Structure 1
C-alpha cells in the first residue's frame, strides 16, 4: 500500500578521500591523475601492495577504496574481507583484468560494492571517477538518514524519560553534540525578568560561560540566541560569510559594541563557523531558546535547520503540558488497568484469532460514525496474512488498512462500537493505551482528580455490557504508562490525521506517503488534512513515541 518515493543523491561538495591500490605503479599513477583531473573533490592516495594498503588503512579512513584483484603479496578479495570486518558499508570497488566469473562471485560473496574490469576503464577513462562519486554520494545520504533516524528515536525516548527540564535539556544537548556533530549546544530559559538563563548544555561549554551573561534580555545582545528570542524566529548566522540566506541583518562587527565584540571574539576563539538559534515555543507562549554551534560551515542547511526547529518545538510541548507540571509538582499518579475477556469486544475477538504470543497495541481510538470506531494499532508477532485471516473471522471488525510492515504491522481497524476506550475518552480519565494478547485486553488509564475506580468500572460496564477486572497502581514515582500519556488531548480530527501520518511514515525522510494519499484514506480534502496536521504537529514526537 505504501510506496517509497525515489530519492536522488545530492552532488558531492565535500572532499572525497580515495585509496587507490594496485601493484602496477604505472596504472596507479595514471588513474590517480585521471581521477583528480575529473573532479576537484577527489583526493587520491595510493598503495602498491597488500601490506602497504593495510598500513595506510590503519592510519586513515578513506571514503572509498579502489583495489586491484592481484596485489602481488595478496589479493583484493583478502583486503575486502579485512575491510568488511571493520566497515561493512565503506564503498569498495574491485578492479581486475581477469574477467573471471569466479572472481566476481567471490567478490559479491564478500559484499563488494562495485566490480569493474580494467579493459572497461581503458575505453571509458571517466567511468571510475563517476562510479566513485555515485557510491560515495549514496553512502553519505544513507548515513545522514540513519543519523537523523537515531536522533529522532533518541529524542522520543528522552521526552518521556526525563523527570526535570534540566535533565531533558541536558540529554537533548548531549545528543546534538554526540550524534549530530555540533561543537556546542545549550538550552536557555527565561527568568521572571525575561532574561535568558542557561538551563542545560553540552560540548564546548566554555563559550557559554564566557560569552553568555545570565539574565541578559533579548534586546540587549546581538548574539544569535538573543536575536532569535527578540525577533521570535530561527536565526542562522555564519561568522565567516556574513549571514546565511535565512537571516536578513548584517553580521555585527567588533565595532558595533563591547557586548558584540565579546561574543564574536569568543566564538572565533572556539573555531565556530556557524550558529543556529531556535525559539522554544508552544502555541503563543515562549519558554526559551535552543542554540547550537558548528565548526563546519556546511553543516547547517535548510533541512538541518528544520530538524532543529522540530527539536525546539518538542521541548516547548514538554515544557507546556500538564504531564510536565504533574511530574514536577505531584508525588502520586493513580494508574489503573482494566482487563476485559469478553470476546464480543473487537480487540479481544481479534486477539483470539491471531497466533499465540501476538500483541495488539493501540493508543489512538477515534469514533468514525455513530456505529463504528477507528483504532490505529501496531501488531507484533503476526504476519499480514495472519491479520487478514483473523479479521475475516472477527465479525466486529469491518475493515483493516495496513500501512507498514517493517518489523511490526501498523494498521487502521474499523470496528463496531461501543468500545471501552470511548467511555474513558469522554470522562475525566486519561487514556494511555490498550494492549490485547492471548484472548484478553488490558486498558490502561490515569484517573482524574474527581474520578474513582468504581466510577470507571460502572461506566465501562454500562457501555460494553462487560464488567472489567480493575488493578490499581499508585506509586510515589510516576509509572511508565503515565509518563507516556498524551495529556492535552487533541481534537478528534487532529488525532486522526496526526496518528495516521506517523503510522504511515509521513514524518520520515524520505516520506512514505504524501498528504493527498493520507487525506484520501480519511475521505477528506488535502487542504483539510494539512490544516489539521499542522495544528497538531507540536505533539508529534510524544504521540509517535506512544504509537510505538
Structure 2
C-alpha cells in the first residue's frame, strides 16, 4: 500500500479521503458536502466492509471516515485491520448513536476521532474540520520523523566521508532520494566561475542553464544569485510552458524539467562561505519546514567542509586560500570598474605600496580600449593615475590609488595576496592565510574599512605547488616589489613591453635604484633554484 501526496507543501496538498458507509444515500450526500466546503478534499467511497478492504489495499488515503455499521462487518473491525499495518493513519469513526461500548472499543484500537451522525447534521462543516485537523497532525508527525531520519543519515554521511567531493555526492543523492528532482553543490573556481562539486537527479537542467565557468553575476538562476549575494533564496516557478529549452531562460527550462520550486542555501561555517546547496522540487512551494531542514544540511556540510579543508592543509604542503568579497564602494577598483563599459573585467596580481599615501595596482584590464580606461581613471576620484605597460590584446597597466586600501589592511595582519578581481560591482581578494592569521581577523580589519556586513568570505582551492618560501623570505621588501612589478609588466618577455625607466617611474624611484634591486632579486632567485 502507498500513501498519496506525502511530498507536497501542506498548504497546497490535496487531502484524499476514503468515505465508508453501507448507506449509499448518506455516502453521496457527505461526499458532496465535503468537496463543496473544502476544494482540496478528494473523496472516494466504499459501501461495504469488503469494498473498503479492496480500496485500502489498492492505495492508502490520507484519512479514513468510516461508519460503525457496514452490513458485512463493523468499522471497529476495519480499524483493527488498518492499525495492524498503519498504526498512525487518521481514522474517524462515525456512529448513528452515542454508544459508549462502541466508543470504548474504538479507543482501544487507537481511533483518531469519534463522531456521531447527529452532530454532523447540526454542523455541516464539522467533518471537514476534523478531517483537516487529523491529516495535518499526521503530516506534521511524519515530517518530524522524516527530519529525524534525514539528520541521522546526514550525521552518518559526515562521519563516513573523507573528502568534500565524496560528502557532497552522498548529500545530493540523499536529497534526490527524499523526493527532490535535482540537487547539487556549486562552488567557485579561482576565476570566480561556477563549477559543480556534486550533482544528483535531473542534471540535464544544469547542463542547459549553467555551463561550467559561468559567473554568478551573469544569470538570475537561484544558485548563481545565492553565490553572488551569499544569501539563501527560495523561489516558486511560474506556470509557463511551451518554449524551446535551447533558447529559454532558466525558469522555462526548470518548468520543462517538471520543477515547481527551488531553494539555494549558502554553505558556510564561522563566516567562511564554501558554495551553495541547491535543490529543485516538483512541488509548487518549498515551505518553512523544508527550508529549515535544508539550512541545517548546509550548515552541517559547511562545518564538514571547513574541517576537511583544514585537515588537508595540516596534512599537506599546500596552503589555504580564502577569497574575500567586498560589497559597496570601499575598494578603489570597484569605482573604476563602474566607470568602464559593461563587460569589462579587472585582474590584479600585484599590489605594491609606493609610499605611505599611495598604492600601485599592477592590473590586467579586459574588454576596454586604452581611451575607455583613461576616461574612467579621470572620472574615478580614488584612482590617482595610470601607467600603461602594454596595450595589444589586453591592457596591462599600473593603477595608482590612495592608501590605505583593503589589500594593505590584509597584509598588516599577515596575509599573502594572490589576486584581486573586480566584476559585477564587487571586489574579490584571493589571499593565502599566514600561520597565525584567522579568517575572523581578516574580516574584522576589512569590515573596519568597508563597513559591517560588507565582507563575505569563500574558501577556494589550494595551491598546487608549494612556493619556495626560502627565496621569498630572503628578498628584501623593495627587491620583492621590483621583481613582482617586472614580471607583471612583461619586462622579461620578448619583445620587452617596458624599460626599467618606465617601471621605476611607476614605483616613484630612480632607474638606477630599480635596476639595482631587480638584479639583486634575480641573483637570489636563480641561486636558490639551482640548489632546489
* Residue aligned with 1:261, SS: coil
- Looking at structure 2, the residues matched to 112 and 153 of structure 1 have their Cα atoms a distance apart, in angstroms, of 31
CA contact (8 A) 1:225 1:289 kept: yes
The alignment status of 1:144 with 2:143, answered yes or no, reads yes
1:468-525 CA-to-partner distances (Å, cap 9, x unmatched) read: xxxxxxxxxxxxxxxxxxxxx9x9xxxxxxxxxxxxxxxxxxxxxxxxxxxxxxxxxx
For the 8 Å contact 1:12–1:41, the answer to whether it is kept is: no
Unaligned 5+ segments in structure 1 are: 1-9, 243-252, 332-488, 492-548
Residue by residue over 1:41-80, the C-alpha shift from the partner in whole angstroms, topping out at 9 and shown as x without a partner, is 2221111111211222222321110011111122212221
Give the deviation of 1:221 after TM superposition. Answer: 2.5
Separation in 2, partners of 1:170, 1:328 = 22
Q: Hey, what's the Cα distance between the residues in 2 that align with 1:325 and 1:11?
A: 41
Paired residue secondary structure (2:22):
coil
For residues 24 and 12 of structure 1, the distance between their equivalents in structure 2, rounded to whole angstroms, comes to 33
What pairs with 1:334-373 in structure 2 (closer than 5 Å)? none
Give unpaired runs (5+ residues) of structure 2: 1-8, 317-437, 441-532
What SS does the aligned partner of 1:226 have? helix
Please state if 1:238 is matched with 2:236. yes
**RMSD of aligned Cα (Å):** 3.0
Which aligned pairs between 1:377-396 and structure 2 lie closer than 5 A?
none
Residue in structure 1 matched with residue 325 of structure 2 by the alignment: none
Partners of 1:223 and 1:260 within 8 A in 2: no
Q: Give the Cα–Cα distance (whole angstroms) in 1 for the partners of residues 17 and 249 of structure 2.
A: 42
SS at match of 2:169: helix
Q: Following TM superposition, by how much is the alpha carbon of 1:262 offset from its aligned partner in structure 2, in angstroms?
A: 5.1
Q: Which residue of 1 aligns with 2:36?
A: 37
Alignment of 1:1-40 (within 5 A): 13-40=12-39
Listed one character per residue, the Cα deviations across residues 109-145 of structure 1 (whole Å, up to 9, x for unaligned) are 2211112222332333332222111111211222222
Q: How many angstroms apart in 2 are the aligned matches of 1:294 and 1:302?
A: 14
Q: Which of 248, 259, 265 lines up with 1:278 in the alignment?
A: 265
* Larger-gyration structure (1/2): 2
1:328 Cα deviation (Å)?
Answer: 8.4
Among 299, 303, 324, which residue is 1:313 paired with?
Answer: 299
Please name the residue that 1:431 is paired with: none
Indicate conservation of the 8 Å contact 2:239/2:255, yes or no. no
When residues 275 and 80 of structure 1 are mapped into structure 2, their CA distance, relative to the original with a 3 A threshold, is same
Distance 1:284 1:35 in 2: 52
Secondary structure in 2 aligned to 1:276? strand
Cα distance in 1 between the residues matched to 2:33 and 2:237 = 36
Question: CA deviation digits over 1:163-191, x for unaligned, max 9?
Answer: 11122112211222223x21111112222
What per-residue deviation string (whole Å, max 9, x for no partner) do you get for residues 225-283 of structure 1? 111111221222222079xxxxxxxxxx989xx99825344312211111221222234
* C-alpha distance in 1 between matches for 2:16 and 2:120: 20
Contact 1:189 1:289 in 2 (8 A): yes
* Conserved? CA contact 2:266–2:273, under 8 Å: yes
User: What's the counterpart of residue 292 of structure 1?
Assistant: 279
User: Structure 1, residues 277-331: CA drift from partner, whole Å, max 9, x if none?
Assistant: 1222234433221111011112x1344334323322222222112x554368749
Q: Do residues 114 (structure 1) and 113 (structure 2) align?
A: yes
Give the match's secondary structure for 1:277.
strand
1: CA distance, partners of 2:194 / 2:132: 46
Aligned residues: 310
- In structure 2, relative to structure 1, the CA distance for the partners of 1:63 and 1:328 (3 Å cut) is farther
- C-alpha contact 2:98 2:116 (8 A) present in aligned 1: yes
Q: What does 1:25-174 align with in structure 2 at a 5 Å threshold?
A: 25-174=24-173
Q: Counterpart of 1:18 in 2: which secondary structure? A: strand
- Secondary structure of 1:20's match? strand
Q: Is this contact kept in 1: 2:208–2:246, CA < 8 A?
A: no
Shift of the 110–319 alpha-carbon distance from structure 1 to 2, 3 Å rule, reads same
Bigger relative contact order, structure 1 or 2 (CA pairs below 8 A, ≥6 apart): 1
- Per the alignment, do residues 259 and 206 of structure 1 end up closer, same or farther by CA in structure 2, a change over 3 Å counting? closer
| Paired residues of 2:92 and 2:115 also in contact (CA < 8 A) | yes
Distance between the aligned counterparts of 2:60 and 2:100, measured in 1? 30
Distance 2:122 2:235 in 1: 48
TM-score by length of 1: 0.52
Using structure 2 for the length normalisation, give the TM-score: 0.53
Within 5 Å, give how 1:397-546 maps onto structure 2: none
- Aligned equivalent of 1:369: none
- Would the aligned equivalents of 1:273 and 1:297 in 2 still touch at CA under 8 Å? yes
Measured in 2, the distance between the counterparts of 1:93 and 1:132 equals 8
Quickly say closer, same or farther: Cα 1:11–1:166, change in 2 above 3 A.
Answer: closer
Question: Residues 329-357 of structure 1, C-alpha deviation per residue, up to 9 Å, x if partnerless?
Answer: 749xxxxxxxxxxxxxxxxxxxxxxxxxx
Deviates more, 1:230-239 or 1:11-20: 11-20
Q: 1:254 to 1:123 in 2, by over 3 A?
A: closer
Do 1:36 and 1:44's aligned partners in 2 also have CA atoms closer than 8 Å?
A: yes
Deviations for 1:330-387, whole angstroms, at most 9, x for unmatched residues?
49xxxxxxxxxxxxxxxxxxxxxxxxxxxxxxxxxxxxxxxxxxxxxxxxxxxxxxxx
Q: Is the 1:12–1:133 contact (alpha carbons within 8 Å) kept by the matching residues of 2? A: no
